[in-house]
Structure 1
């Protein structure tokens, strides 16, 4: 008879699992642990008759008793089998609920960021540190690359957020301006332009060898276009670019915030104040961001601007500047 009860339970478990509610199993566990129907009812904040009815419903579903006698102290073999399975299921359910709640609050999950090097080395470390201070189990991946690659990563879904210097005119991206900094001339410390104490004109740059970089494309001025077209050296990685400038192989133009290592270098302001680089926070508009992405978005915005608005706004298409 004992083995037939267990065999019946195991052979019908998939069927009865949907019929027996998790709360019923939890009440059964409490009764088993209290060894008293009255004590279990007090702990569950239910009447003894209600708890007794729950146990009866489980026994009816399984076709056998869970306890020996009416005192609810000793489990039957079927009761012991149910107890081990119920304990595991209730524990797993509680763990799952905690994980879901943690994810919903943005405390867990993975956020992938693609960013231009200047943002990756200056503002983002502080923003990420602030976010992870309150969320130590949050996983973050940061890849630094150029603006075009940032756009491609966000568009393809390989990055959840992007920080780039060029707004993209695609309809599937939303972008929010984070910061703006002026372009400066960067030259070797012994270069003739390094001795200039006044802002430089475009014509003064035309007299010297010029090293083109991708950020120069944001400056809409014929002299800069001509300098870039005639440049004998094109370098797109900023660290490598600055190494060539240190070798005095030419001067270049960079946003002031991009020049983080000024060893043997001098930056000079430009007379044309319209030459600026804007940084934008990018994300896709056709996907709902995860809670963790929303939390990190807010941390990034606060780090750059002090604002608490976590939602990049969709903008009308802009031309590259």
Structure 2
């Protein structure tokens, strides 16, 4: 098997035509280069140069030069690809996120991240928290950004921030004209349109409300449409209510279970790719800056270091 360093020494000498210039490029002495060329000729069993001046190649030398150039270019290309991937400069990153984060927070972060990792390929999927957790747990997403389940999945949770829940209802209905913050008891007797956010809240009052509900939807647009058509009210995180349809209002809630915790989710026992590790570190460093404009609360467990 021919060694690449011997072929590189030969190719560099043929390009320069002089041992001195080739040695300067490679950082080697002329005697060391001469030894490499002699070793290569010995392995091939033939002369590569017509004379000791290294200016005229033999037929074998011409053949080896052409193929060596091709081989070295491909070798360098592959090594660069490997190093770029290992350093997190390239690769494929699959992110799953709840829709409100995907629409309002991630675009700014991804814009800045892609400026640094311009060779990266990023795939963003938005879905409800249960689907995001499932994608990470099954290996269909590298990183998830969603509410974390308490049990049942092998996920690592790194809390990012909390988002207050809001009641979304029609303008003019009794819930909309209530003063101050609403609590769970204020919702009794009204038609609830259930969703995944409520299903994840472990508070007795929410279980009672869900048990009485005969309507449910998972898509935020569908929830808004149902509320707008007078089918009832729903409860969503504040970020999901930033752009309400005409005729709807969002009322903040107060009390136990009225804050949704958003976490960065990764799969336990699985090492992230270099690109995913870089994004995790980037997200943890920059999330405080991005969410400040939405007046969200950083969790006390938030880890701001990679």
Fold match (TM-score > 0.5): yes
1:156 CA displacement: 1.2
Whole-angstrom distance in 2 between the partners of 1:98 and 1:217:
48
CA contact (8 A) 1:128 1:299 kept: no
Query: Aligned match of 2:211 in 204, 220, 229?
Result: 229
Segment of structure 1 superposing worse, 268-277 or 125-134: 268-277
Whole-angstrom distance in 2 between the partners of 1:82 and 1:121:
56
* Residue 139 (structure 1) aligned with residue 121 (structure 2): yes
Query: Aligned match of 2:16 in 28, 34, 37?
Result: 34
CA contact (8 A) 1:167 1:280 kept: no
- Paired residue secondary structure (1:187): strand
Q: Given the superposition, is the C-alpha separation of residues 45 and 147 from structure 1 closer, same or farther in structure 2, using an over 3 Å criterion? A: closer
Residue 289 (structure 1) aligns with: 272
CA contact (8 A) 2:148 2:265 kept: no
* Residue 270 (structure 1) aligned with residue 253 (structure 2): yes
TM-score (norm: length of structure 2): 0.89
Q: Given the superposition, is the C-alpha separation of residues 163 and 30 from structure 1 closer, same or farther in structure 2, using an over 3 Å criterion? A: same
CA contact (8 A) 2:18 2:53 kept: yes
1:224 CA displacement: 2.5
1:120 CA displacement: 1.0
1:30 CA displacement: 1.5
CA contact (8 A) 1:130 1:299 kept: no
Residue 23 (structure 1) aligns with: 5
Structure 1: runs of 5+ lacking an equivalent: 1-17, 311-321
1:274 CA displacement: 4.1
Residue deviations 1:148-204 (CA, integer Å, cap 9, x gap):
111111111111011121335256321101111121211111322212222224333
Give the aligned length.
292
Runs of 4 or more, structure 1, over 4 Å off, are: none
Whole-angstrom distance in 1 between the partners of 2:288 and 2:150:
21
Q: Given the superposition, is the C-alpha separation of residues 37 and 214 from structure 1 closer, same or farther in structure 2, using an over 3 Å criterion? A: closer
Segment of structure 1 superposing worse, 164-173 or 284-293: 164-173
Query: Aligned match of 2:305 in 300, 309, 320?
Result: 309
Query: Aligned match of 1:193 in 172, 175, 198?
Result: 175
Segment of structure 1 superposing worse, 265-274 or 238-247: 265-274
TM-score (norm: length of structure 1): 0.85
Segment of structure 1 superposing worse, 280-289 or 301-310: 301-310
- Paired residue secondary structure (1:295): helix
Segment of structure 1 superposing worse, 207-216 or 297-306: 297-306
Residue deviations 1:284-321 (CA, integer Å, cap 9, x gap):
121211110011112222343356423xxxxxxxxxxx
Structure 2: runs of 5+ lacking an equivalent: 290-302
1:234 CA displacement: 1.2
